[in-house]
Structure 1
């Protein structure tokens, strides 16, 4: 209280307590009561101490130290479930103090963080050139695998570029342009593509060598004459060389195109090409496969996958049409004869193409340099206007402005400067998040008119309704849940299934079944997203999507055909949700057996966001196959032996209950009730204290009591994928807002996606350190 003169009194504003004072008064008593028994007063269980510091101020600035406390208390991992627990008020006090005084977060102004300038990864490059030029370019065959960070391959900090990789980009640009604008593209022989799915009479996508069969399609022929037919196919089924053989015959119209004996071949595309006369009208194309040689008992079976048939003609030269790439680039047809008109046409083409390729309008000088390339090439002997456009587009595809995602901002090196992204950068973030590719004309037009933010929700709905949004499901789910690895993961199906030969095993479990498992998981995520279902249904769904082959493998009756259909799992409580999908159960197993540790770690890392610390060096291997007095040990018995070792006990208390709760599923995802002649005990207790008797009850806990942990983990994973960097401590307020949004909207997965797009890290950025 301050006295200025008699009768006038002013109350002094209260002085805010310092972080050190608040720590001593409010936080230290909580830590001493609940934590110091294991992590203070000379104890450092798990090599973590809370009172071994010299300078309190530096201790309170140690974000990594407090991050461990914040994460474990928030997820109720600490204190252990059999110890005294913090009251809700104490928990809120501790967590809020860490966020406010240690992390120094402002919920009203979340830190958007910084994103490293990053190049397109292989997937983004492939889709970008397809959307720009209509070219199916196999980037995976040309570029090395991208490095990953935080579980994803679109993280800016790991997407480096070397001189050798730059050389590959230059060569790839030339290949892409050759595919899009082949020589003579303005006068190309007419072409019709027939996909394998259009063939009838059988499944052209999987024609087993052991079975004689014929599939058939019709092609409309406008002009009689000679046609070139190209059949593209591949052989699948065996992971290593086999003697299995079959004969392939192809007939077109009234003539045989050719025949070949097929065997084991790892090529992604094999071609049979020939020339046949075709009459006007609908002409039949027949593909016949017949057995030649059986595989050996220790060899897997093969199958033919018919990809497409390309019909080009007539070859006489009288009929011509524009190639797809030509039509996408030369929007007004061939170049005019007048020099000035040609120059203006080149300017129009380059302005249209480059603004899409570079994701923003170009300055006049860049356009003029590209137009200069077109004019220079056009003047060369034996060259044409089209050759000039090819050279200019090749130049663009080698440019850092195409290969790198650059977001222009004021004061890029000032970490204190936070700016709103311009609408072109926002359009780019949207398109790469939802489409893994460049923005389309509508996004760029809205950005040009500064209307994109005003129409953001409408654009999100439009983009999700576009078939290109399937790429989000494929790429995000493929990396988050590792379904991308499923089809190439090595497994010993013969040993797991207990069959006599590899051939028997391949009839039960093959590449096609793996593909079906991947599809099941992707379709569940797609359904939950598009139907605005609660995200926890990814764990607890009492439905799934199956075709006949996968349903039979799971032991579920009533599904017929190769088409995937929704299936009610009310009578199969053991199934439903990603934890019971073959995709997860295989990628989280060892090649010959289940792995409770891998399965438990997978759930902790990818569903709960509470990863266990890495194993210390020198941890002994699981003592597998040890005999007990009652025969060979079960997995639970072997894990108990392992867990009894002092170095293993702590971490395994987190992982094992979850992994053992899934032991009813073998390493190939089949349900079983016994192991080594003994009943499987799938009960357990989570480290947070929840008990369950089987996988159905485990799923209920994860989707119920631990739902907030799942929401938080899913928000962190999707935000990481969306912005191309890992989640940091300063993102805590953003993640809290996303979780609150999901709670408010009944857990809607779509609301999470929309919330990420509206969030500060997606809409804003700050300068780099």
Structure 2
């Protein structure tokens, strides 16, 4: 078919080819514009300084991409025509969009434009993951690097990941710190280490109370039994944090740590915002099962109006015996020195250095290196090794630090021929595909299996199998963490400003903190992540993210939602058939909180959230000097409902158009307060959650709204989800020339019952993921 079209185009006269768009415009498109657009943008009218019939040459007009791009975008996102005007019928809208894509944008449906991705550095999350996967080092980049800028809703977008001289200095310093953690002095012969998670510490005969959450106000002791391999003196390090009050308080408690019956240390606890605090001491331990004990005793209570504090145990690190007679290789040492200690003979040492550096650098730089680069790194190892007081390990450390500060590690570089030729489109080499795949699904560098397949040019032939393998790997939890955290703003839940005191109508912040336990913020994040993870791993339809009649809850979150029968700290699947108001992302506390104001719900924020993140039809920005919603409360009478205030607010001409899009959705979620609890009424007045979407679908409650979004508007959700995940995967925003790719992804979802994994397959196989073109 394509060959026939090309042959036909060669035989037709140029005049005929040029006339086709003009004829189709006059016969098919201009009548649509006259019916729906010219009242504001034609016949002498040019609202927003935009006219659709003010041109001298029709051919030039139909080639003016800058003119037609806003038309295409605004019609596609339903910003135009305004909501108070007649709307395109679905077939008419599709005809206009397809005509613009074919005749103005000149899109090739068979060969979509892959676009170009700006060379980008690793963001701080990717850096942290990479050094952990390469060296086994837990390096907290949030304490070292500034927050990354975001573009198109994500922090892995090449265009915004700039690097300054100051940041480069931080990377150089970080390289030395990471290597020192991976290979501490004497790393080849460290004393044995045992890590005990804080959740393992429990109150005897009360498995629900763990070291993860102990109130200052209650005397409590948590213990754990741990097998100790040898007799001797041990170093005990307790890592913990203080939670609760967001502002300084005088609340205090005392902590005592014991190991094997011996006191390790004690400390007075108070308000402290550090993410990790530690107490270190020593204790003699005997071989066999020993008890570790942490006790809290109440101290000074909080003053009137102050919130309470809580102790959360993160982990206890046990190292020993300290006498030096028992040694083991550190984790970083085992990952780097794959054949153990270096040989003594100089030629053999140099050969071993080459093996180590080739293995490490191929993973760190995401492709095999040329011999000259390996030679330079081995020279570094040998030069340091020859220095007085230095060892082979010191040379390896210096060479690895050099690699970690190299642009080839810090930047995701994809080499291509003719990089400045925008007409040159080339497939990415398989090493670049391996890197894109690993950073997409794992947020980190490729592993040996991916690199081996790339080396043998077999990765493209095994993409599905590799995707399946990678999604089974625990590292794929990073995809859920980072994508959900940004697409649905779940990252913001723990810090979003919210006043439980005002929302719940309680008398004090202390009462509010007890009713809205700060652990609930983390629980809400977990619920959202577990739903997405379940739909992805179990190959469920994507629309279940909206319509699921189940969720994942623990006892605390279920109790806050008013759902009975859930017990324990661990999250578990919960059937919500008897709670039709629940189920799906839109009724989860995480989404409802980040789309609320500090003291009340916000139908505008909630409506905008759904338009932008679920339907992919964002509303235009508000006009300047929009009056606050509270100004409508006086006119609405005493204790007005949100619907009453919104009706007064959108009666203003400047507000009416946009609010007709947002308000029905936002008010459809009004049964949920700003903390995500369901409520039938507001100030004694029954909440009316019914409405009509701009596209005509009616609903009477949140259950019916979810059903509309997951069925009648399913195509819009598929398109929006495809665009969001594609943006995250390729590191750039979706542009007009990506329309054929997005159409293919939506079609793939529709043909495969919406299975979320099919979307991942489709993105990895798509032109934007597999190819690239030169820059303009």
| Shared fold per TM-score greater than 0.5 | yes
Alpha-carbon distance in structure 2 between the residues aligned to 1:55 and 1:203: 76
Corresponding residue to 1:182 among 167, 181, 184: 184
Cα drift, residue 439 of structure 1 = 0.2
Cα drift, residue 667 of structure 1 = 1.0
Cα drift, residue 190 of structure 1 = 1.5
Cα drift, residue 318 of structure 1 = 1.2
Cα drift, residue 488 of structure 1 = 0.9
Alpha-carbon distance in structure 2 between the residues aligned to 1:93 and 1:662: 34
**Of 119-128 and 13-22, the range deviating more from structure 2:** 13-22
Q: Which residue of 1 aligns with 2:165?
A: 163
**Of 313-322 and 60-69, the range deviating more from structure 2:** 60-69
Alpha carbons 2:440, 2:729 under 8 Å: kept: yes
Alpha carbons 2:636, 2:645 under 8 Å: kept: no
CA 1:18 to 1:528, structure 2 compared with 1: closer, same or farther past 3 Å?
A: same
Alpha-carbon distance in structure 1 between the residues aligned to 2:71 and 2:479: 34
Alpha-carbon distance in structure 1 between the residues aligned to 2:48 and 2:680: 36
Alpha-carbon distance in structure 2 between the residues aligned to 1:758 and 1:652: 39
Q: Which residue of 2 aligns with 1:669?
A: 676
Corresponding residue to 1:61 among 60, 63, 68: 63
**Of 587-596 and 237-246, the range deviating more from structure 2:** 237-246
Corresponding residue to 1:147 among 139, 142, 149: 149
Alpha-carbon distance in structure 2 between the residues aligned to 1:323 and 1:308: 19
CA 1:646 to 1:524, structure 2 compared with 1: closer, same or farther past 3 Å?
A: same
Alpha-carbon distance in structure 1 between the residues aligned to 2:297 and 2:90: 71
Kindly provide the CA deviation profile for residues 613-663 of structure 1, in whole angstroms up to 9, marking residues without a partner as x.
111222222235734575222211221221111211111111111111111
Corresponding residue to 1:199 among 198, 201, 211: 201
Alpha carbons 1:335, 1:345 under 8 Å: kept: yes
Alpha carbons 2:79, 2:619 under 8 Å: kept: no
Q: Which residue of 2 aligns with 1:589?
A: 596
Kindly provide the CA deviation profile for residues 271-324 of structure 1, in whole angstroms up to 9, marking residues without a partner as x.
111111111111111111222232234222221111111111111111111110
Gap regions ≥5 residues in structure 2: 1-9, 204-208
Alpha carbons 2:586, 2:592 under 8 Å: kept: yes
Q: Which residue of 2 aligns with 1:302?
A: 309
Alpha carbons 1:409, 1:419 under 8 Å: kept: yes
Alpha-carbon distance in structure 2 between the residues aligned to 1:146 and 1:101: 39
CA 1:140 to 1:88, structure 2 compared with 1: closer, same or farther past 3 Å?
A: closer
CA 1:657 to 1:53, structure 2 compared with 1: closer, same or farther past 3 Å?
A: farther
TM-score by length of 1: 0.96
Q: Aligned with 1:647: secondary structure?
A: helix
Alpha-carbon distance in structure 1 between the residues aligned to 2:576 and 2:83: 33
Alpha-carbon distance in structure 2 between the residues aligned to 1:36 and 1:107: 30
Corresponding residue to 1:451 among 447, 452, 458: 458
Kindly provide the CA deviation profile for residues 505-540 of structure 1, in whole angstroms up to 9, marking residues without a partner as x.
001113210000011010110111111111111111
Q: Aligned with 1:660: secondary structure?
A: helix
Kindly provide the CA deviation profile for residues 463-500 of structure 1, in whole angstroms up to 9, marking residues without a partner as x.
00000000000000000000001101111111111101
Corresponding residue to 2:765 among 746, 758, 761: 758
Q: Which residue of 2 aligns with 1:6?
A: none
TM-score by length of 2: 0.95
**Of 549-558 and 634-643, the range deviating more from structure 2:** 634-643
The RMSD of aligned alpha carbons is 1.8
Alpha-carbon distance in structure 1 between the residues aligned to 2:432 and 2:11: 48
Corresponding residue to 1:552 among 554, 559, 563: 559
Q: Which residue of 1 aligns with 2:653?
A: 646
**Of 230-239 and 638-647, the range deviating more from structure 2:** 638-647
Q: Which residue of 2 aligns with 1:614?
A: 621
Corresponding residue to 1:746 among 747, 753, 765: 753
Alpha-carbon distance in structure 2 between the residues aligned to 1:304 and 1:356: 40
Alpha-carbon distance in structure 2 between the residues aligned to 1:147 and 1:86: 38
Q: Which residue of 1 aligns with 2:481?
A: 474
Alpha-carbon distance in structure 2 between the residues aligned to 1:91 and 1:399: 50
Q: Which residue of 1 aligns with 2:106?
A: 104
Q: Which residue of 1 aligns with 2:471?
A: 464
Q: Which residue of 2 aligns with 1:679?
A: 686
Alpha carbons 1:80, 1:687 under 8 Å: kept: no
Corresponding residue to 2:356 among 349, 352, 372: 349
Q: Aligned with 1:308: secondary structure?
A: strand
Gap regions ≥5 residues in structure 1: 1-10
Q: Aligned with 1:765: secondary structure?
A: strand
CA 1:55 to 1:207, structure 2 compared with 1: closer, same or farther past 3 Å?
A: farther
Alpha-carbon distance in structure 1 between the residues aligned to 2:51 and 2:162: 38
